[in-house]
Amino acid sequence: MRKFLIFILLLSVLPLRAEQYDEQQMHADILKYGGAGIDAVYNLDFKTAQENIDIAFQKYPNHPYAHFGNMLIAWGRYEYEFEKSNEEQKKVFLDTVDKSIDGIKVWLKDHPDDPTAYMALGGAYGLKSRFAMDNKSWISAYFSGRKGIGYMKQAVAIDPQFYDAYFGIGMYEYYAGTLPSVIKILAKVVNMKGDPAKGIAYLNLAMEKGQFTKYSAQLTLAEIYMDRTSHYYNPALALQYVQGVIEKYPADPLMHFVEIIAQYENKNYDIVLTLAQSFLSKIGNVPFYTDMYIPRAYTAVATAQMARGSFEAAVKTLETAKEKSFDNINPPTRWAVWNLLRLGQSYDALGRRDDALKIYKLITSISQTWGIDDEAKKYIKTPFTKSTELGPLPPI
C-alpha cells in the first residue's frame, strides 16, 4: 500500500503561476484536465490519465504539472500494472523521472518563484527515494529523500499557505524518523533526521487544508495507522479513513483491496473473506478489475481462511492460485510468490511437512522474491504451526 500512496502523491497539486499564460484559463484547464487525470489515476485508468497529461503538455510545455503527471503514471504502471516484474517498465519509469527533473528545471529558469516547480522537484526525488527503498538501496534512498524535502521546503518558504506541499514534508518527516537503524546512523552523521510526530501533524494539515492532497494524505495516515510497528497504530481509524476515500472513488479496485487489508487489521476475518471473495469474482467482469489482481485476491481469501483456522480451505485456495499464477513464460509477481509462502505455511499447519519444504525450497529457487525467500528459509528451519502469528496480509 505504501507504494500506491507515493504513486498518487500530488497528481494535481500544481496550480499554475506562469506569467506568459492567462492565469484564469490555466486555472480552468487544471480543474478540467487535472481533475480528469486524478479520477483516472485513482481508478488505475492510465490511458485516460495519460491523455489528460498529454493535453497539459500541449498547452503548457515543460510545466511541472505535466512532468509530474508523467512520472506518476510511469510509477503506477511499473508498480501496479506490471507488479514490479517488468524490467522494461522499470527503465521507462527511471528515464521518465530523470527527463522530468530536467524539464522542471528548465521551467524554473523562467519561473524562479513558482512553488509548484519546487514541489514537483521534491516529489520527483521522493519517487526516486521510494524506488531506492523498495530495492533496499538505503543510502541512495536517504540522499534522494533529503534532496526532495529541501525542494518541498522551498515551496513552503515561497508560499506558507501552499498546504499541499506539507503532504510531502509530512511523509518525509514520518518515514525519515522511522528508517532502519543503519540509515539513522547516517542521518546523525550528516545532521539530518525526521520527526514522526511532526510528520503526522503535517499530514493532518494537508488532509484538512490541502486543495488536492486531502485523499493522498488520508491514505498515507491510514497506512501508518495499519503499521503494527508504528507507535500510531490505530486500525479502527485507518478503516474509517479508507472507507472515506472509497466514498470519493468507488470504482477504484485498489481502494477496495486496501479496505480488505484494514478489515484484516481490525480482525474482522469474516468480513475480510466476504470482501475478498467478492473482489475475486469482479476480476474480468467489472471495469478496472484486471487479471493483475488475481494473485492478491487469492492472498486475501486464503489469509482470511488461515486466520479463521480453516487451513484445509486455504490449501485449496492457494493451490488454485499457484496454478493460475505460474507458467513457463512470465516471471511470478510479488503477490504470487507470497501465495507460495502462504501455501507452505498451510501445509505445515496441517502436518504436511514434506509438502511445505518443497514449497519453501521452490521459493528460494526463484530469481526475484522481494525478500520473501528469507521468510521461506526461516520456515525451512522451523515449521509454521497453527499457533504461529500470521502477520500482515500483504507481502512483507
DSSP 1-15: -HHHHHHTTTTT---
More confident residue, 392 or 290: 392
Contact (CB, 8 A) for 218 and 209: no
User: Residue 19: is its pLDDT beyond 50?
Assistant: no
For residue 184, what pLDDT is reported? 53
CA distance 236 to 218: 14
Contact (CB, 8 A) for 53 and 103: no
Query: What structural domains does the chain harbor?
Result: 2-233 (1.25.40), 269-381 (1.25.40.10)
Confidence of residue 314 (pLDDT cuts 50, 70, 90): very high
For residue 154, what pLDDT is reported? 95
Contact (CB, 8 A) for 146 and 192: yes
Secondary structure letter of residue 34 according to DSSP: I
Confidence of residue 21 (pLDDT cuts 50, 70, 90): low
Place of cell 522451523: 382
Give residue 236's identity as a one-letter amino acid code.
Answer: A
Nearest to 76 by CA among 64, 55, 92: 92
Average pLDDT over residues 143-171: 90
